[in-house]
Structure 1
Amino acid sequence: MDSPSPVLRPLGKNGPLVPRIGFGTMGIGFPCSRTTAPIPDPERLALLDRAYEVGCTFWDTSDFYGDGEVIIGKWLALNPAKRNDIFLATKFGGIQMPTGFGFRGDAAYVPIACEQSLARLGVDTIDLWYPHRLDGSTPVEHIVTEMVKLKDQGKIRHIGLSEVSSATLRRAHAVHPIACVQMEYSAFSTEIEHPDYRLLATCRELGVAVVAYSPLSRGLLGGGVQGPDDLEAGDVRRLYPRYSRENFPKNMELVEAIKEIAGRKGVPVGQLALAWLLGQGEDIFPIPGTITPKYVKENFDAIHVKLTPEESQHIRDLVNKASVFGDRYPAAHGHGLFADTPLPEGWKEEKRKEEVTAVGQLWPTEK
């Protein structure tokens, strides 16, 4: 490998050691900026080769990311001796609906989805498995109970959640320890910290790690996109409010301020943005994605960028003062954010309170 040994941290309380920066693979299976032919297999396999070479061995995919699981399965079949070096995470339940992104979240689907992902990946065990979103109608207890059965069968090793509320996390964690919660988190998206959500605080109380997706805000913090016209005609980001002609120039004010600090430090702006996010706690694991080999190494090398307390606070001040224009998602894509679920039928709130308290957790009062 042409990079120093990756910095490893436990993923959650008593969790497995994984690289602080992972590789988000949405782009290799479901590229947002390719409007013609799909990325050829040799290019995608080479991208995974590069991630492995630099030590970026925490790979995150989903059954919703086109044939992302399939191409990772092909790489694993070509490199069977390297399987144990990869910490393989995938998500389940994402479906394409006429109105956009949706989720199949019934408990009966959980074992079906697992078998399908295992087959596409060509593995016996998934290291970390998440529901991509909760459907809002199935109690989280039912989903986690089915996931625990699969863990007991050796089909998954660790259980995660994605885009859930603090209350939902507490209820899930009372059924079985949750290793991590995957949430959007970047200088542009700090909702996880907000006292109205209390999700980061709850994660830390329970010993749950945070896997930060879109840590470069879908390229805004990468420095390569200077305006909406830089995006291809079919690029899905053209639908996103932060990339609109009205909002983009306003959001670039924060990017330019961070870029100025990066220039003084002699590092790319994307590296600085990732380094700042890492500095928010050793329980934060960003998973930037890219389809460009050189950026795989550049992103991963953010592990080695050290910010002084003054630099970190300066960026925090910029983030706190910035007006971020536009929601994270367009309406058609923004389902299930900070999701709550109903209590299981026949379960009274007082009974649930007793059970949660019995395992040393506090019954949530937040909504």
Structure 2
Amino acid sequence: MTARRLGPTGPAVHPVGLGCMGMSWGYAESQRDDTVSVEVIRRALDAGPLLLDTADAYGSGHNETLVGRALAGRRGDAVVATKTGIVVDDLATRTLSRNGSPEHIRRSADASLRRLGVEAIDLYYLHRVDPAVPLEESWGALAELVRAGKVRRLGLSEVTREQADAAHLVHPVSAVQSELSLWTREPLDPGTGMVGWCAERGAAFVPFAPLGRGFLTGRYEGPGDFEAGDFRAANPRFRGEAFTANLRIVRAVEEVAVRHGVTAAQVALAWVLAQGDHVIPIPGTKQLRYLRDNLSAPDLTLTPADLTTLSTIPPATGNRY
């Protein structure tokens, strides 16, 4: 297992990080157990240094607090990434808005530092660009936090190449986060995709939902598998005919997994890892057994034939949101 670097001068981290959002909201919230989640995070840190991903919006601060609990006494094993720029207007309905104003960014950073219990945020993302605020103003406020020692590196989430270029002129972009998996491959587009943009600049590309929000693991049999309120219950790719059509992707992944004697999740993650040495996926899980599978995915080497088979699977049916 070869570590991967978070930006051209950033720290070396395990090739697979841990996305913590689902521990607080979005997926199967009736199964939320903070004590178990803290243990999962701590066991993940045993493979450290490991990239932990959270945001102030996840559970309206709950997820950062949870990560902070797990970090107690383990700070040196973690590279902590969090985000600002999305505001939770109503936690019950998960109604969100954007705020990229410098004032909001400064307040959010201080609040995140308190909840996480850290002296500095290792990687601070602008969660989404606020159309009401010039990106240069938002990014400039983030750069001020770096100069103040509150943040070490900056990242962008779900941006275009043009937006990333504009930010990079103000302050170096160390990482870009966006969805990438066997059913979401737009970031690989040679003309518009951010995987190539990051490679050209030595930045890390951090895929969220690299397992297709759990779909690519093969654990789900139909739309009825998701409780009311679970994000996936209303997601276009998990509904009706789209769910059935997308099972063809799972079957192709499972065929490769059988040949290698591994899980479908490990194959899906190995494919993502094969898209570049600067790619650091952050699958989420609330269970130790899945964490072990995810962290061992870098040990799987897919053959050129495997990669061709997987890369030529027809795209997913249904929009991402």
* TM-score, length-scaled by structure 1: 0.82
Instruction: Specify the code of the residue in structure 2 equivalent to 1:58.
Output: L
Q: What's the CA shift for 1:20?
A: 1.0
Q: What's the CA shift for 1:72?
A: 1.4
SS in 1 for 2:312: helix
Report if aligned partners of 1:22, 1:56 keep a CA contact under 8 Å in 2.
Answer: no
Q: What's the CA shift for 1:97?
A: 4.0
The structure having more radius of gyration, on CA atoms, is 1
38, 46, 56: which is aligned to 1:45?
38
Aligned positions of 1:1-367 closer than 5 A: 7-35=2-30, 39-55=32-48, 57-66=50-59, 67-77=62-72, 79=73, 82-97=74-89, 100-195=95-190, 197-318=192-313, 322-329=314-321
Q: What's the CA shift for 1:137?
A: 2.3
Report if aligned partners of 1:18, 1:58 keep a CA contact under 8 Å in 2.
Answer: yes
Select the structure with the greater relative contact order (CA < 8 A; seq sep ≥ 6). 1
Q: What's the CA shift for 1:195?
A: 4.7
Q: For residues 340-359 of structure 1, what are the alpha-carbon distances to aligned partners after superposition, in whole Å with 9 as ceiling and x for unaligned?
A: xxxxxxxxxxxxxxxxxxxx
* TM-score, length-scaled by structure 2: 0.94
Instruction: Specify the code of the residue in structure 1 equivalent to 2:248.
Output: E
Instruction: Specify the code of the residue in structure 2 equivalent to 1:138.
Output: V
Residues in 2 aligned to 1:74 and 1:235: alpha-carbon distance in whole angstroms? 25
User: RMSD in angstroms over aligned alpha carbons?
Assistant: 1.6
Report if aligned partners of 1:227, 1:249 keep a CA contact under 8 Å in 2.
Answer: yes
Report if aligned partners of 2:178, 2:206 keep a CA contact under 8 Å in 1.
Answer: yes
Q: What's the CA shift for 1:273?
A: 0.5
Report if aligned partners of 2:85, 2:130 keep a CA contact under 8 Å in 1.
Answer: no
Report if aligned partners of 2:5, 2:11 keep a CA contact under 8 Å in 1.
Answer: yes
Unaligned runs of 5+ in 1: 1-5, 330-367
Identical positions, percent: 37
SS in 2 for 1:42: helix
Residues in 2 aligned to 1:163 and 1:101: alpha-carbon distance in whole angstroms? 16
Residues in 1 aligned to 2:106 and 2:21: alpha-carbon distance in whole angstroms? 23
Instruction: Specify the code of the residue in structure 1 equivalent to 2:56.
Output: D
Match in the other structure for 1:355 = none
Unaligned runs of 5+ in 2: none
Q: What's the CA shift for 1:27?
A: 1.3
Instruction: Specify the code of the residue in structure 2 equivalent to 1:126.
Output: I
SS in 2 for 1:161: strand
Q: What's the CA shift for 1:75?
A: 2.0
Residues in 2 aligned to 1:312 and 1:195: alpha-carbon distance in whole angstroms? 18
